[in-house]
Amino acid sequence: MATTIWRRPAIGLWLLALLLTAPAAARNINVAGDFDFYVLSLSWSPSYCEAEGSRADRSQCSAGRPYAFVVHGLWPQYERGFPEFCRALPSRAPETVVRAMLDVMPSPNLVRHEWEKHGVCSGMTPQGYFAKLRAARDRIAIPPAFVGPRDYRMVGTMDVERSFQAANPGLQADAVAVTCDSRRLREVRICMTKDLRFRPCPEIDRRACRNPRLAVPPVR
């Protein structure tokens, strides 16, 4: 009985000491403004529309919506993992801000979702966050081959990456990653510092597509 009484405080003290000595980063998960870098995610809209079919957002995929690369999001990242759903006010983006982003993010639902999951972790207001997102998008030149292709074609995965490097001086291979589904190009993800300079991101690079060739559906 005496042994049990003394063990419990000892365990409690050990846990308290562990928490107090843990790295600060381990205790600051999902704190708005506390992150290491951004990932700008550019989605190949024709692949999204084709893959999702009837479930696709009609604002983006209905007839007469000829989108090529669109912005999926600007995501705060840790060196490993990422914050999400941080506590921030407002928790929802104002409709004026949502509407102002539809030229680069052609789905109101996507704009709202990106603020509620990722933007709230930026430490900025919705206006500030989406201004940063737009500045990040403006930083990137889209390679000519992906401006508005009208034919279904196959490309090498590394060729997609190299084309973005060629169009964007200073963009190194370890700062850009191509993602895919089973056969289609889905996204190009580019890693940036908080002041929007290119920077390496090993974890993002490791998650890149391993399929050597990808289908690129044409602009609708």
Is residue 95 part of the annotated active site? The answer reads no
Catalytic residue among 72, 95, 113, 161: 72
176-180 and 185-192 beta bridge pairing: antiparallel
Catalytic residue among 118, 161, 187, 203: 118
Q: What is the per-residue DSSP string for the chain?
A: -HHHHHHHHHHHHHHHHHHHHS-HHHH-TT-TT--SEEEEEEEEHHHHHHHHGGGS-HHHHSTT----EEEEEEEEE-SSS---S---SSSS--HHHHHHTTTTS--HHHHHHHHHHTGGGTTS-HHHHHHHHHHHHHT-PPPGGGS---S-EEEEHHHHHHHHHHHSTT--GGGEEEEESSSBEEEEEEEE-TTS-B---HHHHHTS---SEEEEPPP-
Is residue 113 part of the annotated active site? The answer reads no
Is residue 72 part of the annotated active site? The answer reads yes
- Whether the CB-CB separation of 215 and 186 falls below 8 Å is answered with no
Residue among 165, 139, 170, 171 at smallest CA distance from 71: 139
Catalytic residue among 114, 161, 187, 203: 114
Task: Name the residues annotated as catalytic.
Answer: 72, 114, 118
